[in-house]
Structure 1
Amino acid sequence: MRTIIALLLFINSLGLFAQTPELIPFLKGKRWGFVNAQREIVVPCMYDYVYPFSEGLALVELERKFGYINAQGKTVIPLKYDKAQPFKQGRAKVETIFGKRTNGQFKVGYIDKTGKEIIPLQYLGLTNFRDNMATIWDGDYNGYIDYVGKVLVKPQYKFASRFSESRAWVATKMPTYDMLVGCFLHKEAFLIDAQGKQLHTIKNAGSESFSEGLCLIIAKTNDSTVTRYFIDKQGKKVLDVSDYDAVHGFTEGLAAVMKNNKLGFIDRAGKLVIPCQYSINFKWFYQDHKRTLFNFKKGLTAVMLAPDQGWNVIDKQGKTKLPRNYQYLRVATSTQILAKRNNHWGIISPEGEIILPLQYQAVKPFKNGLALVRKGRKWFYVDRDGNEYFEE
């Protein structure tokens, strides 16, 4: 049984390196189309940009308008949107502009694969869904809708975060950035559940999203003392981390902390399990706005050993895993590490094997067998064998 489970997990991990899709975005000169695995053009190179096929349809752009085509190149949803996203779970987020393009506003909604609006384009702001909820903006206030578009919390807040683990932060006034603390602080903000019920209040404080049942709070007192602590989903303070200069949320049971410009990691009990010994600085730590740079993925994260030593990958015991150091590393997925050496980017495995040669100015991780890369000023796709899909 263990062998079968291990095999299934291994097969699942190969999803990111799945066989090259039947149709591949192809750049010819300055125009995009699609080719098959034999590099034969199937969809003419006539678009300003195309996205890989998703759920049978591809998002395409021409003259600043977006629409969708099928595998035969037929337009199935007209190119009439000013912004759009690929389909995911049978729906796509689309936007249209009203007023002049230079200063107009967007109306946002969702469509199905026939182009029918399943969430009408009536909101001036609409985030992607998380926890089956999305934040909406009516031009003045923020609220929340569910996956089918039902309003769960009517627009009434000037600030409304995205939901995470069925919790979100709202406020009647926008926060202001505090240079001392290094983040945005609210005069007053409320923790709410999916029904909009207020569970907890913070004052003169900022917060991150919930992760693994905990949320980091950063507060400043009247005498400018800064405190940092974690709360649970009811708002109860469970762990004080004020001894550190900066803290991120928990992933895989560990949280990144900074002390005297050195990076380390604590566990959920607050124990420093990986000493603060890696190079970092306060500005860099907080420029990671999504707080994901030092997240562990399958037990690994990337750190700078020292400015003159470069980057390596460590496990949850602090042991380095790669046979050599790099100019920069970032763990993108459990099977892919973005690596930089001699000012060129590529992709390596957690064991240090080359997946994509380090020869590009920029790379994005493989997804469904393709990776988007930049060479010079030209962006194009490559497959897992290193084949580049463009021609002059």
Structure 2
Amino acid sequence: MNWKNIQVSDDNTHFIFDGKPIFAKTFIEVLKFHSPGLAPVKDSSGAYHIDISGNEIYLNRYSRTFGFYCNRASVIDNNLWFHINEKGAKVYSASYLWTGNYQENICTVRNADNQYFHIDINGNRFYANNYVFAGDYKDGIACVKSQDGLYRHIDNKGKFINNKSFIDLGVFHKNFATAKDKNGWFHIDKKGNEVYKNRYLTIEPFYNGFALVTTFESDKIIIDEKGHKNLTV
């Protein structure tokens, strides 16, 4: 049985394979299986993880458990958040007010002062700055909100990738990111430069060379990577 083919039931209480329930057991809550084939579940004893045979992989119980990413899973114990490995052992000594999921072996966390930063796969922070918000890494770049209220991009060493800052910001997708200044939303390149002059009420990332945007008149149009209007939708 391949864990990738195991599905969660519509009521989120059990697992289905080949259209049939498996394990002959229901739970209070289940989340889907993630690599290497482990799933978060919760029953009357608490929250934990199981393998594809339905067996618990450790004895500990938590308030809540989440899926494994990069062989790490976020768990909550008495309102404290941290990560465990596949053996159920806590990966590092610290605990947080919130932890994200590891992406590219890096994870965003929020400390007791409600400040965000990133930690590596062993729980070590790799830059000194604290942020109002820090997002997930994608292709080695993450969005952060600085204390001045503006968003910037940082690399996987914690360094700003350019000297530009924005009112709001998205991650890079196919070499372009969404950004917002005082005039509205637009797209930027990795140097932080606008790729066209127009501004919009809302925009989406480019999808195979084109993006859906909404004008300030609430018209929806498709633009290309140079900002040229392609059609109205």
Give the TM-score category using the shorter length.
Answer: 0.7 to 0.9
2:223 maps to: 382
Secondary structure of 2:99's aligned partner? strand
Matches within 5 A, 1:246-285: 246-259=98-111, 260-280=113-133
Q: CA deviation at 1:161?
A: 0.5
User: Which structure 2 residue ranges, 5 or more long, are not aligned?
Assistant: none
Whole-angstrom distance in 2 between the partners of 1:334 and 1:384: 11
1:320 maps to: 160
Query: Alpha carbons of 1:158 and 1:312: their partners in 2 closer, same or farther (altered >3 Å)?
Result: same
What CA deviation, in whole Å up to 9, does each residue of 1:137-181 have, x standing for no partner? 2x69432335xx4654557223111222121112246xxxxxxxx
| 2:120 partner amino acid | D
Runs of 4+ displaced beyond 6 Å: none
User: Which structure 1 residue ranges, 5 or more long, are not aligned?
Assistant: 1-129, 174-186, 221-225, 281-292
Q: Considering fraction of residues, name the structure with more helix.
A: 1
What CA deviation, in whole Å up to 9, does each residue of 1:174-227 have, x standing for no partner? xxxxxxxxxxxxx6123112232222355351222211001111111xxxxx43
**2:48·2:65 contact (CA, 8 Å) conserved in 1?**
no
Whole-angstrom distance in 2 between the partners of 1:261 and 1:190: 27
Q: Larger relative contact order (C-alpha < 8 A, sep ≥ 6)?
A: 1
2:48 maps to: 190
Within the candidate set 94, 103, 110, 1:241 is matched to: 94
What CA deviation, in whole Å up to 9, does each residue of 1:88-136 have, x standing for no partner? xxxxxxxxxxxxxxxxxxxxxxxxxxxxxxxxxxxxxxxxxx9333212
Tell me the number of residue pairs that the alignment of Structure 1 and Structure 2 aligns: 228
**2:57·2:88 contact (CA, 8 Å) conserved in 1?**
yes
Matches within 5 A, 1:6-21: none
Whole-angstrom distance in 1 between the partners of 2:168 and 2:120: 26
2:31 maps to: 161
Within the candidate set 335, 339, 352, 2:175 is matched to: 335
Matches within 5 A, 1:1-392: 131-137=4-10, 141-145=13-17, 149=19, 151-153=21-23, 156-165=26-35, 166-172=37-43, 188-220=46-78, 226-242=79-95, 244-259=96-111, 260-280=113-133, 294-308=135-149, 310-333=150-173, 335-355=175-195, 357=197, 359-376=199-216, 377-391=218-232
TM, length-normalised to structure 2: 0.83
Whole-angstrom distance in 1 between the partners of 2:48 and 2:110: 27
What CA deviation, in whole Å up to 9, does each residue of 1:48-98 have, x standing for no partner? xxxxxxxxxxxxxxxxxxxxxxxxxxxxxxxxxxxxxxxxxxxxxxxxxxx
Q: CA deviation at 1:372?
A: 1.6
Query: Alpha carbons of 1:193 and 1:275: their partners in 2 closer, same or farther (altered >3 Å)?
Result: same
| 2:171 partner amino acid | V
Q: CA deviation at 1:302?
A: 1.0
TM, length-normalised to structure 1: 0.52
Whole-angstrom distance in 2 between the partners of 1:208 and 1:358: 41
Q: What is the CA RMSD across the aligned residues, in angstroms?
A: 2.8
Q: CA deviation at 1:268?
A: 2.2
Query: Alpha carbons of 1:262 and 1:158: their partners in 2 closer, same or farther (altered >3 Å)?
Result: closer
Whole-angstrom distance in 1 between the partners of 2:162 and 2:12: 51
Secondary structure of 1:296's aligned partner? coil
**2:209·2:224 contact (CA, 8 Å) conserved in 1?**
yes
Q: CA deviation at 1:300?
A: 0.9
Whole-angstrom distance in 2 between the partners of 1:153 and 1:191: 14
**2:66·2:74 contact (CA, 8 Å) conserved in 1?**
yes
**Identity score, percent:** 22
Whole-angstrom distance in 1 between the partners of 2:57 and 2:202: 44
